[in-house]
Chains A and B, each alone.
Chain A
């Protein structure tokens, strides 16, 4: 089973308007590489020159922010769901 990835509105310019993508990889980093092949520009929106996720991008695996799992090296399994969201505040 592939991994489903939900993409926010701002990034859909890289995905031909697609809201969800399907990809594969055993870590978040591999998944991003896999998606970049079919959706050029996506990687640069998510990952900085330092190889880490941008500060204002939150990536979730099964609803959990990967910063508290293993960061960009967070392991993935088939059937996981990944979502990307901009950082927003409340209060």
Chain B
């Protein structure tokens, strides 16, 4: 595959069968978004966010961009901003993995830490405050920008349908909801009977903190009408499945992938999906950025999961 530049190398990721993990009567496949240039599904989104803004004449060499992110979107934006001379700042919760920060540092991104106890909601709040006070900074805002789900509607979804036209269901993690909304819409246009399931990370108490329920945040890009179910997965279950993916299929993935796999295994049930169904799990990233969390280290799995539960892994 020849790409003229990094942007052209985004997408077209492998869809890999999981013969050892598929329950009897079902076929599971995982779409490895970790194969994108900066190692996550967010390369697709970053490309769409920037190209939209460029078409609208909002960006020029030297432009400043600000984005709230738990990491992957920031890294993806950074790689595409660098060659174009855009200056990127990211508001990121202080309890994300050190690899995410190191990668942003490599690209000379200005990292603005937001309080751990506010999770991604805090990053969103701070980014909005900064952008309101600084009209020259461009805020792509993946949580509210239609280019985010459109990246999946125009690329991730069609790739899945090209490779597996008779796919019965897709499972993906829920962050901004961009993946689920974009892939879900495309899938249901193709086959209204197809199902879309969200795997929602369930964290430890620290991440939920003391936030008020009425200060919650539902990303505007999330179209809940495309979802057929939303299932929460705690760190232990996510980690258990992430490790099985490595030991039984040889695939080294991030923690969200295990969460989505746990949901896929749960919905492979004749009450929800006919026997013979093909189910696609979207793996948003590989395991590299989680090594320092101890997620893959030897030791007591429950203890590892408990410490992981306090970092934002989606």
Residue positions of A touching B, CB distance < 8 A:
8-11, 45, 54-58, 60, 63-65, 67-68, 83, 85-91
Residues on B with beta carbons closer than 8 Å to the beta carbon of A60: 232
Residue positions of B touching A, CB distance < 8 A:
42, 69-70, 72-73, 119-121, 124, 142-143, 173-176, 178, 200-203, 205, 207-219, 224, 227-233, 312, 314
| Contacting pair A63 B232 (CB below 8 A) | yes
Interface contact tally, CB-CB below 8 A: 99
Residues on A with beta carbons closer than 8 Å to the beta carbon of B214: 54, 56
**Chain A residue nearest to B233 in the complex (CB):** A63
B230 contact from A8, A56, A65, Cβ within 8 A: A65
Q: Is the interface of B mostly helix, strand, loop or mixed?
A: mixed
- Complex CA distance for A8 and B72, rounded to whole angstroms: 28
| Contacting pair A90 B314 (CB below 8 A) | yes
**Chain A residue nearest to B211 in the complex (CB):** A86
CB distance from B228 to the nearest CB of A (A): 7
| Contacting pair A91 B70 (CB below 8 A) | yes
Q: Which of B178, B209, B216, B219 gathers the greatest number of chain A CB atoms within 10 Å?
A: B216
| CB-CB under 8 A for A91 and B72, given A55-B218, A65-B229 | yes
- Complex CA distance for A67 and B202, rounded to whole angstroms: 17
A90 contact from B175, B215, B230, B233, Cβ within 8 A: B175
CB distance from A49 to the nearest CB of B (A): 14
| CB-CB under 8 A for A87 and B312, given A9-B205, A9-B210, A63-B233 | no
Besides A88-B208, A90-B175, 11 other A-B contacts (C-beta < 8 A): A10-B210, A55-B216, A68-B228, A85-B202, A85-B208, A86-B211, A86-B216, A88-B121, A88-B203, A89-B121, A90-B312
